Amino acid sequence: MTLFKSILPVDERGFYGHFGGAYIPEVLHGNIKRLREAFYSYAADPEFNAEFDRLMRDYVGRPSPLFRADNLSELYGTNIYLKREDLNHTGAHKINNAIGSALLARRMGKHRIIAETGAGQHGVATATVCALLGLECVVYMGALDVERQQPNVQRMKMLGARVEPVYSGNRTLKDATNEAIRDWCNNPDSFYIIGSTVGPHPYPEMVAHFQSVISREMREQLLRHTGNELPDCVIACVGGGSNAAGAFYHFINEPSVRLIAAEAAGKGVDTDMTAATIHAGREGIIHGSRTLVMQTADGQIVEPYSISAGLDYPGIGPLHAWLHESGRTEVIAVTDSEALSAAMTITRREGIIPALESAHALAVLDRVKFAPDATVVVNVSGRGDKDLHTYLNSNCQ
């Protein structure tokens, strides 16, 4: 049998340099081992991949367009292309991974799916795919997020998922993830769909693989637009790192392509209201992997803050910790107000209302100057409908 071979620099224990691995409770060892075996065999299975490709095309609406943003290009004096993940079914890149993972769950004979969610995008994507494939779905969500993301809670309920509010910690994403892992320990027959490139091996690798469709399409589309598959720069926002992993994937081994990750500075990296894990974190273990974590001197996890619920996470995927440490990516911390201003710029100049998360990537254009003949791709990870309330309350008009 052929096994899937990663193009990422990951070893068989799931380490990118010294980041990654699988730090899990004993009860999950069997589960993680079976998941690893299933992923590495199905990811190389033509039938599995044909089904994934069919759903990407006919259900999600892929390929998502690569749009030359003429007005932004003129404003910034360079050539800006937007990868439109906001146009996917359910409105963000999360659906790519939800479909890949749910197909894998079905092949493994699983009937019950567990997920965690922050802003609700991953919860909605998972509930959507579960409705499609006839799987039971339980979504853990911090009680604070349940309050501030009501439209997504209602969508999940309409899709037939059970939404479980989590009241521990600061009642956001980290706490929801803890609870989802606890459920999995109690129900090892269930399948856990993680929403980002985080968690124990093989999750970071698996999620990056399902999201890599983004950069695979970019290469084909750039060739058509510019005559060259390679851009000069790709920019993406990083929460746990899945849209950035997908946007960077097929360029990681192309040294001429500059990769810029935008993390959420919140009120500023030097304040205690930030989610800029790469700037403010230290090495530690969170949710099953060794990575950079925002923590106190004695190792207590610091509650993160960002205006964007999807970037409000105290860790970062091990792939990104390594890409940063090895110098392959540049990481720029973008504040709430810089993101709001960038969201307004693209809305008024291109008629595209981006997710607040994606606005962090767009804000890099205000910070970095590119050559007039450069090709710059910004990954627009999602649409902004869920954020209208925040935009309108921050005098963004």
Would you please indicate which residues are annotated as catalytic (active-site) residues?
A: 94, 116, 381
Specify the residue, 78 or 277, whose C-beta has the smaller distance to ligand PLP: 277
- Please report how close the Cβ of residue 360 comes to ligand PLP at its closest, in angstroms: 8
Cβ(122)–Cβ(56) under 8 Å? Answer: no
Structure tokens at 67: 């749009």
Closest CA to 231 of 196, 208, 257: 257
Six token digits for residue 128: 């959507």
Residue 1 CB, shortest distance to ligand PLP, in Å, is: 31
Q: Any idea what DSSP says for residue 239?
A: S
- When the beta carbons of 121 and 390 are compared against ligand PLP, the nearer one is 121
Q: How many degrees, rounded to 5, is the angle at CA 12 between CA 8 and CA 18?
A: 70
Q: Name the strand (E) or helix (H) holding 289.
A: strand 289-293
- The contacts of residue 32 (CB under 8 Å, 6+ apart) are 22, 24, 200, 201, 202
The residue among 21 and 195 lying less far from ligand PLP, judged by its C-beta, is 195
Min dist. Cβ of residue 373 to ligand PLP (A):
29
Which residues are near ligand PLP by CB under 6 A?
A: 92, 94, 119, 121-122, 196, 237-244, 310-311, 355, 357-358, 381-382
Of 78 and 339, nearer to ligand PLP (C-beta) is 339
The distance of closest approach from Cβ of residue 66 to ligand PLP in the complex, given in angstroms and rounded to an integer, is 17
**Smallest distance, ligand PLP to C-beta of residue 27, A:** 26
- 270 torsion bin: left (phi>0), alpha (psi -120 to 50), beta (else): alpha
Q: Which residue is nearest to ligand PLP (CB)?
A: 382
SS3 275: coil
Task: Report the distance separating Cα 213 and Cα 209, nearest Å.
Answer: 8
Of residues 14 and 118, the one with the C-beta less far from ligand PLP: 118
